[in-house]
């Protein structure tokens, strides 16, 4: 693990890997009632910077509960903070990947409308799809382990796959191997192709895999092939993003995790020229029926990155606990420091944002929990 500041150094590799990176300028501030309107181009660029305020709010709220052993409360305050922060964004957003169905989640449920643009006079605000995971790695936060993050992805209206809350088998890689992977083939076959594309041997490759009983055979095969493995307890969005960062040492993500996280990871990798393929894996007939209602036509369909996240997308993440991708929240007297990453597929721009927050002047997004000073 690395100390403060080292995560930023590692993220430089991710920025180098992004295709078509440009020096884009933008300005952003919390948008009050009656906020000024921007041109479409300027608004697009402002959104890329505004979304990070939302992940920062969720990270700051949940980080208060790091190591406290209550994953449900940590998730709750992250959701609450993110939901309130959305009210400052000049958008007409619809949650398509969120905390669950309307009857299962009080906030950020699938289909919920978020953003200041839904208020009267907001007809000029852009309509967008929203995919969120306010606290990816609830167990990691509750136990104080690395790599808990808050994430959000945004696309134009109707451009995200409406993924049901089920499992998805995934393979994810960075730009160098984006054209050589095939989920229909074995992990061994894919490792050989990835190694060839990256100009090294399979023994020099590292796969990231969720540490789950269902992955016993997968882990055994990857080991048999000779590749190295980094097992993670949670957080396959950050695991997928690391495959696009040459400095992470991760070459591929294998395994079955949440389908909603697959869509978010696809959006992130699309911003930096990576690739992800996914296939839904249902756990019950009820999940199959729900998927059919959401428009899924075949259980065996393999979704490409462009089918999971179509068109131009934006992605933002803020570290909650210190990790390989991002530094966690660091508190000081009456404030905190955060590290975030913001990416746009339209330009390939990757921004790393190190922010200092002063609680006496910031909105108290987690006021209802009594956790803010």
Please, what sign has the CA dihedral across residues 283, 285, 286, 292?
A: positive
Tally of structural domains, the chain: 2
The last residue of a domain, from among 292, 308, 324: 308
Tell me which residue of 109, 88, 91 sits closest to 100, measured CA to CA: 109
Mean pLDDT value of segment 311-333: 95
Q: Assess contact for 242 and 250: CB atoms under 8 A.
A: yes
Q: What is the pLDDT of residue 184?
A: 97
* Beta strands 350-358; 335-344: pairing state: antiparallel
Q: Is the pLDDT of residue 10 over 80?
A: no
Name the token pair of 181: 């992977």
- Would you tell me the crossing angle of helices 216-225 and 187-198 to the nearest 10 degrees? 40
The last residue of a domain, from among 308, 327, 345: 308
Of the pLDDT bands very low, low, confident and very high (cuts 50, 70, 90), residue 21 is very low
Burial class (CB in 10 A: 0-12, 13-18, 19+), 370: exposed
Looking at every residue in the chain, the average pLDDT score rounds to: 86
- Indicate the DSSP class of residue 183: T
253 and 332 in a single domain? The answer is: no
76 and 144 in a single domain? The answer is: yes
Q: Which residue has the tokens 């609450």?
A: 80
Of the pLDDT bands very low, low, confident and very high (cuts 50, 70, 90), residue 47 is confident
Q: What is the pLDDT of residue 302?
A: 96
Q: Rounded to whole angstroms, how far apart are CA atoms 265 and 61?
A: 23
Does residue 241 fall inside a structural domain?
yes
Cα angle, residue 225 at apex, residues 224 and 227 outer, rounded to 5°: 105
Q: Rounded to whole angstroms, how far apart are CA atoms 14 and 18?
A: 6
Question: Which residues span the domain enclosing 110?
Answer: 6-157+313-369
341 and 220 in a single domain? The answer is: no
3-state class (DSSP) for residue 103: coil
What is the pTM assigned to this prediction?
0.86
Q: Is the pLDDT of residue 24 over 60?
A: no
262 and 279 in a single domain? The answer is: yes
283 and 357 in a single domain? The answer is: no
Give 239-284 pLDDT, tens digit per residue.
999 999 989 999 999 999 999 999 999 999 999 999 999 999 998 8
Does residue 1 fall inside a structural domain?
no
296 and 320 in a single domain? The answer is: no
* Beta strands 302-303; 275-281: pairing state: antiparallel
3-state class (DSSP) for residue 152: strand
């Amino acid at each position: 693990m690395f100390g403060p500041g080292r995560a930023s150094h590692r993220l430089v590799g991710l920025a180098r890997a992004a295709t078509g990176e440009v020096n884009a300028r933008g300005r952003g501030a919390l948008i009050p009632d009656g906020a000024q309107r921007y041109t479409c181009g300027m608004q697009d660029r402002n959104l890329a910077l505004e979304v990070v305020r939302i992940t920062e709010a969720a990270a700051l709220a949940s980080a208060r509960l790091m190591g406290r052993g209550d994953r449900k409360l940590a998730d709750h305050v992250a959701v609450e903070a993110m939901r309130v922060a959305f009210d400052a964004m000049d958008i007409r957003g619809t949650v398509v990947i969120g905390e669950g169905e309307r009857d299962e989640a009080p906030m950020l449920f699938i289909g919920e409308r978020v953003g200041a643009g839904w208020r009267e006079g907001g007809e000029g605000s852009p309509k967008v799809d929203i995919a969120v995971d306010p606290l990816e790695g609830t167990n990691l936060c509750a136990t104080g382990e690395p790599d808990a993050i808050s994430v959000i992805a945004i696309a134009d209206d109707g451009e995200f796959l409406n993924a049901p809350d089920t499992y998805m088998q995934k393979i994810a890689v960075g730009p160098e191997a984006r054209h050589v992977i095939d989920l229909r083939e074995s992990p061994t076959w894919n490792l050989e192709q990835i190694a060839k594309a990256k100009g090294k041997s399979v023994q020099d490759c590292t796969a990231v895999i969720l540490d789950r009983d269902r992955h016993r055979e997968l882990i055994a095969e990857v080991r048999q092939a000779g590749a190295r493995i980094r097992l993670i307890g949670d957080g396959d969005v950050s695991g997928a993003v690391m495959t696009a960062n040459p400095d992470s040492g991760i070459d591929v993500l294998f395994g079955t995790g949440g389908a909603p996280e697959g869509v978010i990871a696809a959006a992130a990798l699309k911003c930096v020229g990576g690739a992800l393929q996914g296939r839904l894996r249902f756990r019950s007939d009820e999940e199959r029926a729900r998927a059919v209602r959401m428009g899924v036509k075949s259980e065996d369909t393999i979704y490409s990155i462009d089918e999971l996240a179509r068109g131009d997308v934006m992605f933002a993440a803020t570290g909650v606990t210190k990790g390989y991708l991002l530094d966690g929240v660091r508190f000081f007297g009456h404030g905190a420091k955060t590290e975030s990453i913001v990416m746009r597929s339209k330009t390939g721009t990757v921004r790393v944002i190190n922010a200092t927050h002063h609680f006496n002047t910031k909105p108290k997004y987690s006021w209802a929990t009594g956790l803010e000073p």
